[in-house]
Structure 1
């Protein structure tokens, strides 16, 4: 095969509160267990978290395609905004470069609008179980607002104008 190991995260898109699994040859797993204990990664009574991961695997795998479709919608919308360059959107993660060093200011603006992303110059947006189509549109509206751009076919609103 091409890989010696695979790590699967049960949170994020699958919606479990925490957890991941490492799969690989017995020797690798034994070394990983030893390292986990050495760095304090032991967890007692983990059955509840294991049950959440099991539920996520039973009920949320098929809906990952929804996250990928929403990420594509986000990427298309962001690509249409002057000042942004979409680098990648192959799964539920969208990487975007922000022109003129405005990434930190955009992040702060988005956070005030209730939209979370990470990064500085290159930003990372992630769709997941808690993001729906309305959330994508809200995120795009917040980014357009930062750059003073209206959605296609609409004139920009004058600054300082409240919309009710």
Structure 2
């Protein structure tokens, strides 16, 4: 694990994502991941866009929209924690987001545009954090989380879902 996350900065559930983060610097990872996302999405055949590998599973487009939605949520969490907001943040049910995402009606260009806007915002946000801010811990879903952990979770979450798409969808 290249991340600088310390024990106690996140719920162990997120360890899988954090361990997949391949950059020690969050901003560099977000910048690199931006290009990787674009290249990955552009390589997906159009006939696979709304494909789901089993009943009840998300389509490729829905998985990609899930990545964007999650980045919005975890960037918000990082902002709250970095500003020393100690108000607990409740969790979110990712499965309830998908039916309302309308992702299967989005084109690749729509997804790429939405992602680019979100990722540029995340890059600017994490670039603004000092080391002290990155280490600030708040509470999300009943567990501690630092702003730093939220950043590494974003990096690894993208890698995780790219692996799932390659393994089960393409």
Establish whether TM, by shorter chain, passes 0.5. Answer: no
If asked which structure has higher relative contact order (CA below 8 Å, sep 6+), I would say 2
Q: Normalising by the residue count of structure 2, what TM-score does the alignment of the two structures yield? A: 0.26
The structure where strand makes up a greater share of residues is 1
TM superposition score normalised by structure 1: 0.27
